[in-house]
Amino acid sequence: MKEQFTFEGQRSTEDVIFVIKRHPWVLSKAGFVGLGIILILVLSLLFFGFSGVTSILIVMVVIFFIFYGFYIWFLYNNFLYILTTERLIIIEQNGLFSRRLTECELGKIQNVTIEVQGAIKTMLNFGDLKITTAGIDPLMVIKNVENPYLIQQKIIKAGHHQANIPSQSENL
């Protein structure tokens, strides 16, 4: 199943197999921060009542939530993993003005290891893929993706198709 997705720098000979983002659970930290701030706001209302100080505090919290929410959404939405018929591309958005792009030809992938650590990752079925390559940067990491076992199989299958090696599932 090929997705109808294009990106800058896409080669005319390659098709996109998948584009995935990190698991939504990575947003939970921001949610817990938000709950903590709301709790502090409620406690300040209980202790100080509705006054000028609490009014200013409420306005500051609302403004903070708007900017912080935009920032977290921006990072989440622009952290992408793209698998094409020719290469694997990792776009890591680390800040508003900080982005790292790593790519590897499928023929250079040597090993794909899955790492799922902890009860939450196991129950929600997400984890990391560590990809060993024959390139300058010998380790690529796909972090916090949903169903890492399926993603691993798609990467391996795409690599076999590019090298014209039949995968084990095609032999059955």
Could you give the number of structural domains in the chain? 2
* Residue percentage of the chain with pLDDT more than 70: 93
Specify whether 102 is located in the same domain as 142.
yes
109 burial via Cβ count (<10 Å: 0-12, 13-18, 19+): buried
Is residue 9 included in any domain, yes or no?
A: no
Specify whether 163 is located in the same domain as 83.
yes
Specify whether 49 is located in the same domain as 111.
no
Specify whether 58 is located in the same domain as 87.
no
DSSP assignment of 51-105, as one string?
SHHHHHHHHHHHHHHHHHHHHHHHHHHT-EEEEESSEEEEEEEEETTEEEEEEEE
pLDDT computed for residue 156 by the predictor: 93
- Highest mean pLDDT: which range of 7-16, 58-67, 149-158: 149-158
pTM of the shown model:
0.81
pLDDT computed for residue 55 by the predictor: 81
Specify whether 71 is located in the same domain as 84.
no
At 117, which CATH number?
Answer: 2.30.29.30
Specify whether 88 is located in the same domain as 71.
no
Nearest C-alpha neighbor of 152 from the set 119, 118, 172, 125: 125
Specify whether 91 is located in the same domain as 66.
no
pLDDT computed for residue 1 by the predictor: 42
Given a contact cutoff of 8 angstroms between Cβ atoms, the answer to whether 158 and 169 are in contact is no
Range of the domain at 147: 16-22+79-167
pLDDT one-digit tens code per residue, 76-135: 999 999 999 999 999 999 999 999 999 999 999 999 999 999 999 999 999 999 999 987
pLDDT one-digit tens code per residue, 132-148: 998 777 899 999 999 99
Is residue 10 included in any domain, yes or no?
A: no
Specify whether 64 is located in the same domain as 124.
no
Q: How far is residue 68's CA from residue 144's CA, in Å, rounded to a whole number?
A: 21
Specify whether 84 is located in the same domain as 63.
no
pLDDT computed for residue 145 by the predictor: 96
